[in-house]
């Protein structure tokens, strides 16, 4: 059974703990590893790896200490080059080429963000459960069969963003960047509609904007759309 813990989410840092009961993994390392240890009650020696989606500091800021702790970190060649750290525990993985990590089979896929070579990840355990992890993208061109757990960025609502621009709370220039780099509530809905959700057990909405989101609204609207259990950490 898949267990998910949010250690940090948002523009100040992202880090998630996922386990199938056998092989615990970190998704992102955007906070200090000391804080990861505290939030996991210092039970980090059994971590089998860390998946990093891209080079922005809120997703990889704690990378050095994760590497020093002896944890292999998996990312695209483009992300590794952009981060610029040479370490034998940085493992470059290719887009759409499966690899194994403990008891997981992992498929990296390309997403759309304003960085070098960003990835999303599809993780499958030996029981056949499939966890989909998507963050920092404005669009996903793939469909994913038989997914059971979804962790997806739901950064902003276009309606809230436009109102904030009108009210002067958000500069107009931010609109274009958000629309070409982050997943809006509206696009998340379209993505969910395009996929078969019949086996989905949980949906986690991640990386909400401080200014341009509404946690209660997002949770309610996704629940109404999918009739699934929705978490907003």
Supply the pLDDT for residue 113.
87
Query: pLDDT for 80-97, tens place per residue?
Result: 999 999 999 999 999 999
pTM: 0.95
Residue for token digits 């997806």? 152
Query: pLDDT for 107-152, tens place per residue?
Result: 999 999 888 899 999 999 999 999 999 999 999 999 999 999 999 9
Residue range(s) defining the domain that contains residue 134 = 3-231
Give CA–CA dist 79/118, Å, rounded.
7
**40 vs 4, 35, 123, 226, CA distance in Å?**
12, 9, 21, 31
Give CA–CA dist 81/93, Å, rounded.
13
CATH number at residue 96: 3.60.15.10
What is the number of domains present in the chain? Answer: 1
């Amino acid at each position: 059974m898949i267990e998910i813990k949010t250690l940090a989410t948002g523009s100040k840092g992202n880090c998630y703990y996922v386990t199938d009961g056998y092989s615990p993994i970190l998704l992102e390392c955007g906070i200090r590893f000391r804080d990861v240890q505290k939030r996991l009650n210092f039970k980090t020696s059994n971590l089998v790896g860390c998946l990093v989606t891209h080079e922005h500091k809120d997703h990889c800021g704690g990378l050095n200490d994760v590497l020093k702790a002896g944890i292999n970190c998996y990312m695209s060649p483009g992300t590794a080059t952009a981060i610029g750290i040479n370490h034998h525990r940085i493992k470059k993985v290719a887009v759409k080429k499966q690899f194994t990590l403990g008891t997981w089979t992992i498929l990296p896929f390309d997403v759309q963000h304003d960085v070098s070579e960003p990835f999303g990840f599809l993780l499958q355990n030996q029981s056949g459960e499939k966890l989909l992890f998507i963050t920092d993208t404005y669009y996903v061109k793939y469909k994913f069969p038989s997914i059971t757990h979804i962790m997806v960025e739901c950064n902003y609502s276009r309606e809230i963003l436009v109102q904030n621009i009108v009210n002067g709370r958000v500069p107009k220039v931010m609109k274009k960047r958000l629309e070409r780099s982050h997943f809006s509530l509206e696009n998340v809905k379209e993505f969910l509609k395009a996929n078969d959700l019949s086996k989905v057990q949980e949906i986690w909405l991640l990386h909400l904007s401080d200014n341009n989101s509404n946690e209660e609204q997002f949770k309610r609207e996704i629940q109404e759309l999918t009739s699934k259990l929705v978490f907003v950490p």
